[in-house]
Structure 1
Amino acid sequence: MSRAPEFGPDHWSRRWVVAVAVLLILIVTGLALADLLGGSRAAWVPLLATVPALAATAGGPRTVLCAGLFAGALGVALGLHHGAPGRVLGTTLVSLAVVTLACGLTTVLGGRRERVLEAVRSVAEAAQHALLQPVPSTVGPFQVAVRYSAAAAEARIGGDLYALVPTPHGVRMIVGDVRGKGLPAVGMAALVVGVFREAAHDEPDLLDVVARIERSLARNLGPDDFVTAVVAGHPRPGELEVVNCGHAPPLLVRDSEVIPVEPEQPAPPLGLRALSGETPGLHVLPFTDGDQLLLYTDGVTEARDHDRAFYPLAEGLARHVCDDPARTVTALHGELLHHVGGHLHDDAALLLLRKPLPAGQNAPAPAAPRGAGRVTSVSA
């Protein structure tokens, strides 16, 4: 199972610190050698200011102060070596002191902003766990894996939503996408998830769950707002119920074949039923041992590479599907990031459900080789 490498902020920070340290050593060594080997006695003076300036990009106030003191000492030593007048040495030291002070203040202010940003990240992470609660690897009779990425990486949350809950009426789940971005989209996603969790427990009929969400949105949505969603449930062994409200069709994996689950009765997104007058239909889908179902948002299928080509999710799923949903979703997410060059421009969610084989039956290979698997457009 191939996977594109992922590097976090700490990784790149460490590499930047090392690069700056090497660059500082090269600058100081080059200045000293150029001066001692007979270069111009004044050419190196302005370049000494780069030492504290570069140190400010990779360290704190103490690092900047040490770099400034070292640059000043080097300037004085080279000046004395050439017998420079005291006025020149004084000017050099004053210039370095001003640059060091300015860079030190910059790092202090930057540190404060970083602490504020870290606090905001912590709040955003807490909000994410409240809105998009972690999903265990096993829910009821299913293996489950979820991967979520917000387009605004520092925000941690966005307008895509998912939830999976065990209820007296079987395991039920939703994956959806709120129109728009920013705080309004996050608030609407929270509303949908909250109503779904309550209705999933209260309503025996999955269509009534969808109707509860629709009524709530009708009271809270603006005239141009809507939510696309797929709501699914497992009311009895061997079956899944699927209600698609204007969302991308889930992908069913059965016998190494990837099948888009197209809605038998197309329905408008949630929040637009009053305008269209159409009601969603219930699609009963056979779902037996070894079957898998992938629900996702359009941030995955509409992700483009530098040639503006969309990410081929069905083909990617056929390449990476295995008997471990977590490995499959991780491989898909890594390949998606590689496809777009490392940064998604829209929120993206993946939720993979698998009905494991009974104990004693042979499981499929750990991972399908690249190019394996088939994709068909025939409805399930």
Structure 2
Amino acid sequence: MNTGDANYIKQLNRRILIEEIIKSRSLSRSDLARITGLNKATVSAQVSELIAEKIVIEKKEGESVTRGRKPILLELNANGAFSIGIDIVEDYINIIFMDLKGEAFHSVRVALEDADLECAVDQLIETVTPLIKKFAKNYQPNGLAGICVGIHGIVNAKEEIIFTPKQRWSNINIKDRLEAALQTTVYVDNNANLSVFAEQVFDEAIPDLFCITLYSGIGLGIMNENKIYRGYQGFAGEIGHMVVESKGLPCSCGNTGCWELYASERALMNALEKDRPAASEQEILDALHDGEGAAQIIDSYLDYLAVGINNIINIFNPEKIILNGTIINGNSPFITEIEHKLKSKINNYRDIRASRLGEYSCALGGAAFVIKNFFDVNKIDYTGYEYFLSIYDV
């Protein structure tokens, strides 16, 4: 065996062990060898390196069930590094700070002072710089592992922002500027991609998963065999610009009759606002459960939503679809109604449900994506940790 082959096998074994330690939360060396199928000598050597790098720590089990020595358990060192996930929305920025065990320990929401991207980046740098300095000393030896920024628009394979339909940002590179200003690795991705990644990491550990985000527009994130499906040059998932009315409403993308003009939650709110021009946003949301006029608007909205979901199911045959939006997450009857509208005999899927991660999914996915790359693994599974909802309290 040459040196190249030996290094490849060593790296492969390291990935296998880290993935299992993440998934199992806490386990002994012998358990790790048994589960992974690697011999004990390999496990011992690799674990020693991970401990030396302060990626893994040892803990004694609290109580021994038999006589003799208590087993030494292995866990991730939560404080070995931290990551930041960022979601740049139309008028605000969500920011999540996460430790190596996938727990969000700090969150910030910043109202954007200007719609210009350069101003948004300035504001972002100004916000996170003192926080990075504050937390870095507590997360050693690696400090900040990196940052991932979610964009509500098209991001190409070079991580450049090609176009955002709402703000009309086009052909912009913020990656280089952020890396220079913050002195760390920066990733830039589409928000729906990061949302579906978060759903898999924290709540649905299945290799193939779909997530449809419904907030101001509509995006589709696809996990295919544990990888984000990006298509040719990274443009995959712009499902909101699928045409559902050939001579319909004009869209900022250049087409007419795009799905998101009829089935995004912004489209539903616009329709309800027309019906109640003097109402507040809360009164409009309350109208979702009251009044015949609202019922007709909602039924039309769900018709359009079902049309697009029907197309997605027939094209991709997904196992599970997660719908994520401010309104849909709190209205499970909407999902029941959508399923009733999926009448085709060739519709085939296992489940459609609302997101449990909600509006923080993109930022959570971004922070988790950094950790995945920090560990250099194929998959991270935090579903057994069951604390993702604590983000609403940090």
Instruction: State the TM-score bracket (shorter-chain normalisation).
Output: under 0.3
Query: So what's the TM-score if we normalise by structure 2?
Result: 0.25
Q: Which has the larger radius of gyration?
A: 1
Query: So what's the TM-score if we normalise by structure 1?
Result: 0.25
